[in-house]
Structure 1
């Protein structure tokens, strides 16, 4: 007989005691089936298995059904509370810890209120006295020499790298400094700007930066570029002391979002900001961040087509395009000669930065990059000196064709490429090329590979000497001349290129050793140059001076320990010590404001103490 209380359920045996409702399993209760209460599985659930397990309300834990019922009850109560907020007791009130990022207009009167940053400070290296102690007498072999610049890889976990730091989120509500602080910080920055990759026209930039429009206005520079300029102005001076960390955070935030804005100059200004940030991170010892910024600058320059400005080569259309008419994304045509000159100089500023970062932060075998990729052709004409810009300075009929390739092939007589900025770029190319060749050499090279290497090295060496001759004799440096830092860096790069090319052969060939000594001596010959007057130098100068000092340390060691084995040096030990001290003095002076150079100074002193 089938009971009417549920399909398939048998009637309770005659004389059985009725089962209390609370003893039934949850599944039978839901289906309204008489349950026999057997545990762990009741009779109906055992006879007709279901997806839901047989559960009892009086079990050791809360059943799944009970949990679901409680959840439904809680959600219904919450829904009722939200529908009738005035008649219900409020729960815990929450607030938004990240208020909307409001853009305030430029204020000329209120001061900038920025709280003390909570970021971890850099732990600077404490440089020792510039007056180095006398050599300890230990043999040179006891010192582990600088191994392929591995200490400049930027790894935060390596004891060979400068200490990294974290950035605190700013809590300031005011967007910009007061007009007074703005002018002072900009002027401090612009005094050093050209030596840190600034390629824009300085008078035009300063004028637009001080316009009384809100941050992000199209007539002003992009917010990211403005904040990077403020950051470097504070970094180079004591304006707004203690605010560098907060300004850095704001600068990074704006630079990361400026490309999504509608600013008419967002590409070029973001490119400029990335270059400046890279030099800032390199100078402060944040090497991984510097590499990231350099990579972003290279990608942005190539993506905008800055390497093909005034190209005489036919551009082959893409076979798979994502834009209209299958054209690659590029900048709109320049509105005037000044804008075009800024784009030309912008590309070469990126290339120079790329060369510096590659040599300083990579081992020689890896000194290459996107700008040396197979098939990469650079047609952009050589840069001009923006400080002496005049309308029409780039001839209207000038076209570019394999600019770097022609230079490396010995084509030096380029009337358009004789500006001081162009000379600096060419010196950086030679420096990078020599370092790249050094990384390709191996003592176990195949004879055919050795012939190829010898031919390439001879070609670069000839080019270095020809370029040095084109620069003329070393000048008498004038500390008051604004161009002294550019001339100093250009010549140091050429000398460093000679050292890079000959250093690996200095132990086997006396001629290579003398070339290295002569180049190192030239790098530390400053005449009556007053370091106090010239201002901050490009961060790569630390690498160049360190290279020269290590040449002197190595030669002093040879002079003391191998007099009978090695040919006598052209310089006496006293002359070598004097050259070493001149280089050390320069590094000590500029290391006072550069974490990276303090680190490099320490490595040089360790090398000297080991001989």
Structure 2
């Protein structure tokens, strides 16, 4: 066959016009021979058939027929992929075989759950998880990040990387219960749904410094976003609280990475879901009459089943106030209105959920009677001086967030005519100052935990920023406002200096916004001093040039410390430095 084709090609070429040169004839003869060899090779390839798993890696990946020639197959030689051509000695199971194995594991798990005895003591191989991690790839032909669920030891490792910082990023569930249900589920305490597991794994890879994990952030982010959309449309009652937790963690993830629009999207989704579930009415006083609008408050939301115990009710209280802090803190930073609008005259929107205690509290003693109107009573107690200041960390943070958003909202309304609202302005200023006085003094702490350090730094900074938001619009016309702003900014820096922030690796992303507000006040003071033409410079409350420069230097150093592990903090650090450079040049 090969010889016949070559002869036919030669005769065809000889019949051409005599002008064809001998060199061109030679090249065409070579081309003809090459095509013939290619035809013969292709014929051979189409007639041969390799066994499963015998093809080289590039051909298998591209779904091309491979002749199996070693060390390099003809397909790779033809397409110049010689360096890629490799033959794996590991047999790869078929798709059907992988599915059969997965079904077998699920059936085994179902049987175990159906026969579960909470009093039974089960023995486990302590090395099984490690062996499963090492052999998972070879058994399934997949890398661990491509599996529907990471291997047990990888999953545990990712969760352990997240949990020490979980409260920083809005985790409100009881940690011990979460771990138990995640790694030792029972019929009464099943595993958290995949949507929450995915987001926790996402945070685990985000916070990891190891390349094998940190390089997979986008993989788990895509997986988390897919599962959150499915969960919102198909969540069952018992999973709703977990979906809310996933939304909050996603919001903090995007804020932490400086992706503000996406963070706001998930923050709004969390607030909407919490409100829809009536979490602002947990343990609310019973009402037997209808409201003025004709609606009747039900004891429980149809989107959540009744809590199974006091601890679960405590988790719902924590869920509401964690959502509240997320909303009230970030609406000021983003310049958008709060979704949580409390109307004291409406029983539907009024917040009646009591202030949160520590989660351990709910498992030890019954809750005190709740009279409702939580925010209104807090503000009244500050005005009358009856607020005890004895609150859990989350409650203190929620109170500071309420004052922060309230100060910004009312200052915006009063800016055009402050004299008409002088009394209200003074009352709110009094509330903020009394709240700040009720906070723990950082200097008196003895060996605080990192979690406590973080909580103190955030709540002190947030309460000082409430003063700044209330007064900053009036600094050019009021000496009191000048004094309040500068005192608040210096207090933020002083608190960060007193607390051992070097022990803290991560911080809430909202602190990047607070540090920027603080730097704006300090730079405004410096600019005023140097120009000597504004009202700030004539104020007796103005500190010296050196004092403001020192405070700004300390603030930059603190921001640099947290910028190493916080993209949003790093972005704000750049803005602070640019503003400082512009102020110095001017």
TM-score (norm 2): 0.69
Of 520, 538, 541 in structure 1, the residue corresponding to residue 511 of structure 2 is: 541
> What is the Cα deviation at residue 401 of structure 1?
1.3
Distance 1:253 1:417 in 2: 42
- Give the C-alpha shift of residue 414 in structure 1: 6.0
CA distance in 2, matches of 1:329, 1:280: 29
Q: Which residue of 2 aligns with 1:522?
A: 491
User: Alignment partner of 2:443: what SS?
Assistant: coil
The counterpart of 1:453, out of the listed 402, 421, 426, is 421
* Separation (CA, whole Å) in 2 of partners of 1:555 and 1:561: 10
Is 1:600 aligned to 2:572, yes or no? yes
1:194 aligns with 2:167: yes
**8 Å CA contact retained: 2:442, 2:456:** no
Would you say the 8 A contact 2:238–2:305 is kept in 1? no
Structure 1 residue 319: Cα displacement: 11
After TM superposition, give the deviation of residue 293 of structure 1 in Å: 0.7
Q: How far is the alpha carbon of 1:218 from its aligned partner? A: 6.1
For the pair 1:223 / 2:223, whether they are aligned, the reply is no
Q: Distance in 2 between matches of 1:176 and 1:532?
A: 36
Cα deviation for residue 528 of structure 1 reads: 5.2
Mark the structure with the bigger radius of gyration: 1
Any runs of at least 4 consecutive aligned residues in structure 1 with deviations exceeding 4 A, and if so which?
102-107, 170-173, 259-264, 315-323, 325-328, 411-417, 476-481
Counterpart of 2:207 in structure 1 is 236
Query: Structure 2 CA distance, aligned partners of 1:605 and 1:409?
Result: 41
Deviations 1:138-193 (A, max 9, x none): xxxxxxxxxxxxxxxxxxxxxxxxxxxxxxxx996412222222222111111111
* Alignment: residue pair count: 445
1:89 corresponds to which residue? none
- Retained in 2: the 8 A contact 1:549–1:580? yes
State the SS of the aligned residue for 1:235.
Answer: helix
Per the alignment, residue 239 of structure 2 pairs with 266
How do residues 130-169 of structure 1 correspond to structure 2 at under 5 angstroms? none
Shift of 1:605: 1.5
**Is 1:562 the counterpart of 2:532 in the alignment?**
yes
Q: 2:562 aligns with which of 590, 597, 605?
A: 590
The equivalent of 2:377 in structure 1 is 406
Preserved CA contact (<8 Å) 2:411 2:469? yes
- What is the CA-CA distance between 1:509 and the residue it aligns to? 2.0
The answer (yes or no) to whether the contact 1:303–1:329 under 8 Å persists in 2 is: no
Deviations 1:104-161 (A, max 9, x none): 8699414677xxxxxxxxxxxxxxxxxxxxxxxxxxxxxxxxxxxxxxxxxxxxxxxx
Cα deviation, residue 261, structure 1: 5.0
Q: 1:481 to 1:309 in 2, by over 3 A?
A: same
Structure 2: which 5+ residue stretches go unaligned? Answer: 1-94, 110-127, 138-142
Unmatched tracts of structure 1, length 5 or more: 1-95, 114-169
Question: Are residue 294 (structure 1) and residue 267 (structure 2) matched?
Answer: yes
Q: Is the Cα contact below 8 Å between 1:378 and 1:404 reproduced in 2?
A: yes
Q: Deviations over 1:379-407 (max 9, x none)?
A: 00001123x44524452x51241101222
Q: Given the alignment of the two structures, is residue 572 of structure 1 paired with residue 541 of structure 2, yes or no?
A: no
Do the aligned partners of residues 399 and 177 (structure 1) sit closer, same or farther apart at CA in structure 2, a change above 3 Å counting? same
Q: Partners of 1:270 and 1:401 in 2: how far apart?
A: 26
Within the candidate set 462, 478, 488, 1:509 is matched to 478
Query: Does the aligned pair in 2 maintain the 1:383–1:417 contact within 8 Å?
Result: no
- Give the one of 331, 336, 339 matched to 1:369: 339
CA spacing shift, 1:228–1:315, aligned 2, 3 Å? farther
* Alignment correspondent of 1:485: 454
Deviations 1:81-124 (A, max 9, x none): xxxxxxxxxxxxxxx9xx99x898699414677xxxxxxxxxxx
2-side partners of 1:256 and 1:400: how far apart?
37
The alpha-carbon distance between structure 1 residues 579 and 393, as it changes in their structure 2 partners (threshold 3 A), is farther
Distance 2:157 2:581 in 1: 43
Partner in structure 1 of residue 81 of structure 2: none
Cα distance change, pair 262–301 in 1 and its aligned pair in 2 (3 A): closer
1:468 alignment partner, one of 426, 436, 441: 436
Q: Which has the higher contact order (CA 8 A, sep 6+)?
A: 1
Give the number of the structure whose residues are more often helix, by fraction: 2
Match of 1:331 in 2: 304
Alignment partners' CA distance in 1, 2:145 and 2:337: 42
Q: Distance in 2 between matches of 1:564 and 1:405?
A: 39
Give the TM-score of the pair, scaled to structure 1: 0.66
Q: Does 1:345 align with 2:318?
A: yes
Q: 1:440 maps to what in 2?
A: 413
How many Å separate the matches in 2 of 1:288 and 1:479? Answer: 35
